Chain A
Amino acid sequence: MKSGSNLERLLERGEFVVTGELGPPKGPDGEAVREKARMLKGNVDAVNITDNQTAIVRMSSIAACKILIDEGLEPNMQMVARDRNRIAMMSDIFGASALGIRNMLCLSGDHQTFGNHPEAKNVFDIDSIQMIHMVKTMRDEHKVICGEEIEGDLKMFIGAACNPFADPAWYRPLRLAKKVEAGVDFIQTQCIFDMKRFREFMKQVVDMGLHEKCKILAGVTPLKSVGMARYMANNVSGIIIPEEIIERLKGAGKNNAANEGIKMLCEQMQELREMEGIAGIHLMAIEWEHKVGEIMETAGFLPRPKA
């Protein structure tokens, strides 16, 4: 075992895992984290805690992860390269490990111009792929970047993101291969709506054998309304929503669009479960944590396996 996390154990056992996501509050209210955590408990196998997502200042990922552990959930700590140099990252990873955090996701991070402090200076001392390599070196070679020995063991299951819908499309499997080479254990993809393009991407990934070298979790998000679908398609970078999905939501009528969205999501989750190379699902129910139980139940993914 590299980390001994529930997520790692389940994946190693061949279970089809489901991870959730929780965005910490824009303030110091720990109760807000606990409230969301209670909605997710028992419904997912681990929960991503975002790190100042979209560059908006929020409670730190590490602190929110610790609250989750205290609530009996397993966190997956996201860390972005935008705000910390290598010194701060390694220090925070030691701290996270000491607090019992066993999974982390290495990300570049949304550029600060998207957030609420566009005038801030970014860091980007190292990039997400180098971050994977850094954590792996710390864990497997007991060394920090400079080569000095680490005191004690670092247990961490190393994750990273992948956007199959970004351009150039032909390069995306090669970039994933680079993350594998850097030492990633698991991948969570960007939200998938265009299943045709995702299928093509996964075919290349499987042909390259990458699914055997890391566990790939397919990212999904429930669409709540036609407006939300259009907004995401137009404003969130790297998201493609095919017109037929929007048409189906429209056809359901305004009052029933959310239910139709959940229905589509459950069908998609079933489809992904059968797809070669997919080891699990990363369910991003943004500000819809209270619906996660219902989604998981409807999709036939409950109860969750014991680690």
Chain B
Amino acid sequence: MIVGERKPFSEILSMVERYSKILIIGCGSCVTVCMAGGEEEVKLLASQLRIALRKNNRDVEVAEAMALRQCDDEYMNDPVLLDRVRAADIVISMACGVGVQHATTFFNRVISDKPIKVVPALNTTFMGANVDVGIWEERCVGCGNCVLEKTGGICPITMCAKSLLNGPCGGSSNGKCEVDKDKDCAWHLIVERLKALGELDRIKEVEPYKDWRPSHHGGPRRIVREDMRI
């Protein structure tokens, strides 16, 4: 899932304090699961904003809403939601960066009588897994050319601090990465896994230079599925 983390309150406040009608929209997918931008978090942020803004005796309205997926037209094209967006001076999106941008594009496409400003309440941190209660860890950088079959199901591009493709660097010590002793050395895990699988030969050859074109090195990537187009 996409994992996000709420921005510090002071930063969110500074984005919206000059407005009177604020609408907060939570997202019901990834960021709900990682407890950063779901219904509960919308309620909490709304309360904090009301207290902070009303302290200055301002007549401020903070409304709350949810969309199941802010990254999909289907879940945003709700007349009730659109009316509330139209009524607001500013929209705070509690979705990931994808949701914030999609909301901006979508609202400005369907609402033609005024420009809509959407600001982010989260920092989108990574694509990761929930590895323990309250702990999320990155697992994929979306390089566009998956090598997991070769590396025992452990991604060297994401999990190695240097994204090395040909084995552990000289800083691997007791299974830990030299950059952070709390983090496992990805290549230590990979070679041990391959050894256990009897597949060490898979990494005997020099891994060729990576083609970074499918990765994020040339503007936004795009997939067109002709079989799905109407």
Contact = CB atoms under 8 A, between A and B. Distances in A.
A108 interface: yes
Contacts of A133: 206
Nearest to A125: B212
A174 interface: yes
A182 to B, nearest CB: 5
A129 B167 contact: yes
Contacts of B162: 81-82, 108-109, 111, 122, 124, 127
B122 interface: no
A134 B206 CA distance: 12
A39 to B, nearest CB: 28
A43 B213 CA distance: 48
Query: Of residues B167, B169, B188, B207, which shows the largest number of chain A Cβ atoms within 10 Å of its Cβ?
Result: B169
B163 interface: yes
B188 A168 contact: yes
A237 interface: yes
Nearest to A162: B170
B179 interface: yes
A127 B165 contact: yes
B209 A86 contact: yes
A225 interface: no
A174 B174 contact: no
A166 interface: yes
Interface in A40-84: 81-82
A171 interface: yes
Contact of A108 (B164, B175, B192): B164
B172 interface: yes
B171 A166 contact: yes
Contacts of B161: 111
Contact of B166 (A86, A111, A127, A167): A127
A25 interface: no
Given A175-B168, A237-B173, A168 B204 contact: no
Interface string A150-187: 00000000000111001110010011011001100000
A113 B179 contact: yes
B170 A238 contact: yes
Contact of B168 (A81, A109, A113, A171): A171
Interface string B176-213: 00110000010010011000000010001111111010
Interface of B: 161-175, 178-179, 185, 188, 191-192, 200, 204-210, 212
The 10 nearest A-B residue pairs measured at CB: A163-B170, A237-B178, A129-B166, A237-B171, A127-B164, A166-B170, A111-B179, A124-B163, A108-B169, A175-B167
